[in-house]
Structure 1
Amino acid sequence: MPQLKIEITSYWHSGTGRGRGSQVDAITHRNIHQLPSLPGRTIKGLLRDAVYRWEQFGGYANQQMTNAPTITEGLFGPFGGATWPGLLRLSDAQLPLAEREALIGQQPLIAGLYRNYFSTAIDHKSGVAQESSLRGMELVIPLTLYAQIELIPNAKYLDLQPHWYKLLSRALPLVQAVGSHRTRGLGRATLTLEGGA
């Protein structure tokens, strides 16, 4: 089965909208075994944006390979309004199976995958921290994660099936980071496809 390899080279945070009481305001997404995970919906959104931008840049010169309104919609489904299934489905990105099995139940090792990061707002006039501005965020150390890519058999535009691997590969360099706070230096990553079409 084809998979997406995500080599994350900096600390990263995949938000959940939850915190941990007085310790940190934002904790990261984890799987059932408390290991770091990147949701498939997040990955799909990043890939969709990359394919859309590549398409807008004119990267797919020959769009005669599909009857879909756009390659982006053929691979991922429509943006809004009418709905139909796109060709690609992605699993959550996880650590490789051998690493997951070695870490399950090893709480001290699992704890070593996470770091707490704190920041505060500084008053520009006085140079002192602003009141009630301390924020804590849980970060994950740099890791390599893998997401499985599945082709949806009832996709509306199956004519893209022979081409999806090549189309997606061309757009992957446009994804330079994953998770939240990507524009602030977190989650730097390189994405590649493995395992043939």
Structure 2
Amino acid sequence: MKDLTIKIEFFSPWHCGSGLSAGADADSLVIKDINGLPFIPGKTIKGLIREAVEDYAALRGLDMDLEKAFGKAATAEEALPSGTLFFTNATLKEDEAKSILSNHVEDLLYINKVATAIDEKNGITQEHSLRTIETTIPCTLYGTILYVDDDMESVLESALGFIKHMGTGRNRGLGRCKFSIEKGGKA
């Protein structure tokens, strides 16, 4: 068993929601750590990678025990067993985070995007449809997948290529990304 460092490179602004709003400033804020830096929760990464592995296995005709690796599929009634794989949160590299914080520029990591719905009949903005979403600028985050066996490593490496977008607004150009395994150790 080994631990794999995953690299998530964003090529467009992205939004991994916190469930919070900022009143009149933004209807939806991104999730941030205690220092105001962006991160992606391990459970979000786990879900994306599980779906990618399912797609890869189906395409290749592989018979895989996904419950063993990822835990039981989610239901509303029961808590999920964790499976053998464990996913850490994805964060900025430590030296980048320190530089951002020491220069007090963490606010520059975020851009508000504004959207509204247009009435198809008259081409006018629909009432009460103006929404502001906070997004994170393109950046690179790193996380770790713990307890990976050799067979799963090759499947994960191939399946990561299936992930092209993540977060809210994927069908509107947000969250364009590339997942890969970082070779040569931890970030």
TM-score normalized with structure 2 length: 0.88
Structure 1 position 122, deviation (Å): 1.2
> Structure 1 stretch 25-34 or stretch 123-132: which is displaced more?
123-132
Q: 1:74 aligns with which of 43, 68, 78?
A: 68
Contact 1:13 1:179 in 2 (8 A): yes
Provide the C-alpha distance between the structure 2 equivalents of 1:138 and 1:144, rounded to a whole number of angstroms: 18
Q: 1:82 to 1:111 in 2, by over 3 A?
A: closer
Residue 154 (structure 1) aligns with: none
Q: Scaled by the length of structure 1, what TM-score is found?
A: 0.84
How many residue pairs match? The answer is 180
Which residue, out of 18, 23, 26, partners 1:24?
A: 26
Summarize deviations over 1:133-173 as a string: whole Å, max 9, x none. Answer: 1100001110000012211xxxxxxxx72322111011111
Partner of 1:124: 120
Alpha-carbon separation, structure 1, partners of 2:143 and 2:182: 10
Amino acid at match of 1:189: C
What stretches of structure 1 move > 4 A for 4+ residues in a row? Answer: 80-84
Query: Any unmatched runs of 5+ in structure 2?
Result: none
Among 142, 155, 167, the alignment partner of 1:179 is 167
Structure 1: segments with no counterpart, 5+ residues: 64-69, 152-159
Over residues 87-129 of structure 1, what are the superposed CA-to-partner deviations in whole Å (9 max), with x where a residue is unaligned?
211111100110011122543x111110011111112222221
What SS does the aligned partner of 1:117 have?
strand
Change (3 A) 1:73 1:118: same
Contact 1:2 1:196 in 2 (8 A): no
For the Cα contact (< 8 Å) 1:55–1:71, is it kept in 2?
Answer: no
The amino acid that maps onto 1:75 is: A
Residue 167 (structure 1) aligned with residue 155 (structure 2): yes
Q: Kindly tell me: are residues 115 and 84 of structure 1, through their superposed partners in 2, closer, same or farther at Cα, counting changes over 3 Å?
A: closer
Pairwise CA distance, 1:195? 4.0
Change (3 A) 1:74 1:196: farther
1:178: how far off?
A: 1.5
Moved more, 163-172 or 3-12: 163-172
Percent identical: 37
Question: 1:33–1:105: 8 Å Cα contact kept in structure 2?
Answer: no
The code of the aligned residue for 1:181 comes to G
- Counterpart residue type for residue 112 of structure 2: N
Instruction: Choose the corresponding residue for 1:50, options 49, 52, 57.
Output: 52
